[in-house]
Amino acid sequence: MALTTPFIPPPDCSIQDLTTITTTSYSTAETVAVLLSDPADPRFPECQPSNWASAPSSSRFSYSPAVCPRDWLAWSIATTELQAETVTTAWCCHTGYTLEPYPAYTLLPYMTQPCIRTILPDSSPSSTITATRSHGTGPTTPFTSGIALHAPWHITWREGDRALLSPQPPIPRASETIRYWVPGEAVDDANTNVAGDEGGMDERTGLGLGLGIGLDLSTPRARPEQPQTITEHGVSERLSALSG
């Protein structure tokens, strides 16, 4: 599917399903609350581009040529060879989330590299998130701490596609990866890795309340603050922070 301008879902789309996952580290099991936009939720297709439900399940989160949805960031932008052509690829995560390319745990079967965000306890009532169980049919409950997840979009474009896309995405130089890009803004050279750079992914510190693929359009898009560096096992660090 092609999306040449940023997709904007209906204004009432904010799917916040509550579940839990159990992880084991050093023989110690932990149960962590997870807030996610679940594609199995019957409300989910209504918040996606047209024809999303009729597309093959393996390609529902892949778009070409395409740009990220509004209020999302593009992560891990790099060129690659696809069917003897050079294309640029990126992963899109909602503002406030970080792409986790090497999760230490299999969080959910269909999210091999999720968009993830840690929510820590906050004493401010205005920051409390309300979640529901059973895809919106169960009781509501405050979500005060845990992990928020959503599936990233995978977008690709060829150099000849750039004139069709708005905002025009960058094309990284050979052997370079742009860690993240705020659509419409210039690429920050500090966010560019060259091949062989083993530096960790960057984690944005903003914790907007728009969650998952169901966007909360009342949350303004903001330029991210200087990210914090995390290791490739960032999920493990997040779980440790929550359990500590």
Instruction: Summarize pLDDT for 175-189 with one digit per residue, the tens.
Output: 899 999 999 999 988
Domain count, the chain: 1
DSSP H or E run through 234: helix 234-243
Tell me, yes or no, whether 7 lies in a domain: no
pLDDT score of 22 more than 60: yes
Whether residue 142 lies inside any domain: the answer is yes
**Residue 1 belongs to some domain of the structure:** no
Residue 152 to residue 16: CA distance in whole angstroms:
16
pLDDT band of residue 153 (cuts 50, 70, 90) is: very high
Burial class of residue 237 in the structure, from the number of CB atoms within 10 Å of its CB (0-12 exposed, 13-18 middle, 19+ buried): middle
Structural domain harbouring 194:
17-243
Residue 215 lies in a domain: yes
Q: Are the beta carbons of 142 and 42 closer than 8 angstroms?
A: no
Confidence band for 154, pLDDT divided at 50, 70 and 90: very high
pLDDT digits (tens, 9 = 90+) for 61-119: 999 999 999 999 999 999 988 778 889 999 999 998 999 887 665 566 667 788 988 88
Q: Which residue has better confidence, 129 or 20? A: 20
Token digits for 97? Answer: 């989330």
Cβ partners under 8 Å of residue 185, min gap 6: 223
Distance CA(217)–CA(204), nearest Å, equals 19
Let me know if residue 122 belongs to a domain. Answer: yes
Please give the model's pTM, rounded to 2 decimal places: 0.73
| Residue of 9, 183, 186 whose CA lies nearest to 90 | 183
Residues linked to residue 47 through DSSP beta bridges, in sequence order: none
The answer to whether residue 30 is domain-embedded is yes
Task: Name which of 186, 155, 195, 190 is nearest 72 in CA terms.
Answer: 155
User: Which strands make up the sheet holding 146-150, listed edge to edge?
Assistant: 98-99, 115-119, 146-150, 28-36, 17-25, 129-132, 140-143
Task: Give the residues across from 193 on adjacent strands.
Answer: 177
Question: What is the structure's pLDDT at 240?
Answer: 41
Q: Where are the beta strands (DSSP E) in the chain?
A: 17-25, 28-36, 62-63, 72-82, 85-94, 98-99, 115-119, 129-132, 140-143, 146-150, 153-157, 176-181, 192-194, 202-203, 228-229
Does the residue 177 lie in any domain? Answer: yes
What's the length of the chain?
A: 244
Q: Tens of pLDDT along 111-137?
A: 778 898 888 776 555 555 666 665 666
